[in-house]
Amino acid sequence: MGCGHSFCCSCLYVSWEKAESPSCPVCRKPSEQKIFKTNITLQNLVSMARKASLRQFLSSVDNRCELHQETKQIFCEDDRSLLCLHCSSSQEHEAHRHCSLEEAAEEHRRKLSNQMRSLWEKIQEIQKTLNKDGRIPVYWMAYLYKRQDETRAFYETLQLVLREEDKKNLERLIDEESKLSEQLKKCQAEMIEKRISLRAMYDELMDMCLKPDEEMLKELGDKLRRSEQVQVHMPQPLQPELTAHPITGLMDRLNHFRVGVSFTGEITHDNIQLFNDVRSLRFMGDLPHVSRDPGASNCFAAWGAHVFKSGKHYWEVYVDKSWDWAVGVCEDPWMKKNGTLTECKDTFLLIHVKDDNQTTLWTTAPMARQYIQKPLGRVGVFLDVDNRSVSFVDVARCSLIKHSFIRRSPFQEYIGDLCNNNFRPYISLATHG
């Protein structure tokens, strides 16, 4: 550690498991280290002590073969027993795998260390998932109730008639909430149970570290097999997702406001880190926190040539072949500001990011996760300038993704009707790499 004290890594991790802030167990100096350098001098001393202990055992009376009265210096890997030279070449053992006790001890200590490292990583992985997803049921409930209000407001904006089938779809939201809430609880219970199993196995392997080499060699094989078995079938976090229900007459109504949009104002590299910023967001508690930076994608970003100052406007963007994408509108003041799109209050975007096999949808101003099916093919954008609202539509499913009102800034509120609305379409498409 930075303070100069040295510890067994496994013991140190366990001592820090429930600590609010990691610190040295001896001097209590705070530590931010997660990767430690091996103290080679101490490692060699421990190795010398183990070898001395093993040599003392090998020369003891207890380690003599009862049949041949010779020292047992060979380890049989097949039946995990200590043998003398004559026994190792006997008919019973000649086809088995053999090596010297010192070689076997060194190799099994290495396997033990690797297995403990793997167990600990999986324990921490589950704990991080539980910490991150522990608030999802709360967000999920709030998201559903908010979505009901947004859907009704969307109908009013477009002056759509709420037909009987549409009413049933709204009612189904409550049923989906109940089912998915139960699934979330079950998933969390499975993770907690798996974490307990992994932790118990880790404790068993820690006990093995303290045993003399001759005892460790005899017992470790079974524990390694059990350790590998307990790490199989790791529970995966459940990502709740609403079914996208079609809205009767939606596309016919939207097409009344269809406009042609061209994207000519390509944005410089400083403004296309959007997807890396979004991908780094993970909810912990009530606020999004940065977790990692996976590297930039090959990205094209641009705003539209036309500025919308009044009226209702609808356009579509093809996104199906893009790894990541973002569509929406920006108020003109954003183009004069520095900072990221995720922090800006003048951009109103629907953002899709793909991370390994998982895809997520987000909206900006403020940043919020959208628990709904990924749109297929085309995304529609409906902008009502006069009412300051923007809606995102899954064209293929004829369904609403998100409807929200665009808040005015304090300055805009102050000047009221003197404030001009200036909205530009925005697009950003990224390929993988």
Pairing verdict, β 324-331 and 347-355: antiparallel
The residues pairing with 8 across neighbouring beta strands, listed in sequence order, are: none
Phi, psi (5° rounding) for residue 57? -65, -45
The residues pairing with 325 across neighbouring beta strands, listed in sequence order, are: 352, 429
- Please state, in angstroms and rounded to a whole number, the distance separating the CA atoms of residues 239 and 360: 9
* Residue tagged 């922090």 (tokens): 343
Give me the DSSP letters along 75-87: EETTTTEEE-HHH
**104 and 80 in contact (C-beta within 8 Å)?**
no
Catalogue the long-range contacts made by 20-27 (C-beta closer than 8 Å, 24 or more residues apart). 27/3
- pLDDT above 70 covers a percentage of the chain that reads 72
SS3 for 393?
A: strand
Helices 164-209 and 213-230 sit at what angle, rounded to 10 degrees? 170
- Per-residue model confidence as pLDDT tens for the chain (433 residues): 567 777 667 677 777 766 667 777 777 777 766 667 777 776 667 667 777 666 666 667 676 776 677 777 777 877 777 778 767 777 767 677 777 777 788 888 888 888 888 998 898 888 887 877 666 667 777 787 788 788 888 888 887 776 777 677 777 777 777 777 787 788 888 889 999 999 999 988 888 887 887 778 778 888 888 999 999 888 887 777 887 888 888 899 999 999 988 887 666 554 556 666 666 665 433 334 434 444 445 777 787 888 888 899 999 999 888 888 888 988 765 454 555 666 667 788 898 888 766 788 888 878 888 888 889 889 999 999 888 889 999 999 999 999 988 766 544 444 445 456 788 888 887 776 5
**356 and 408 in contact (C-beta within 8 Å)?**
no
- Please state, in angstroms and rounded to a whole number, the distance separating the CA atoms of residues 298 and 281: 20
**DSSP H or E stretch at residue 429:** strand 423-431
What sign does the dihedral 81-86-87-92 (CA atoms) show?
positive
SS3 for 328?
A: strand
Token pair for 248? 């009767």
Inter-CA distances, 116 with 43, 197, 200, Å: 18, 13, 12
pLDDT at 113: 86
Q: What is the pLDDT of residues 349-393, one digit of tens each?
A: 898 888 766 788 888 878 888 888 889 889 999 999 888 889 999
pLDDT at 135: 67
- Please state, in angstroms and rounded to a whole number, the distance separating the CA atoms of residues 302 and 292: 26
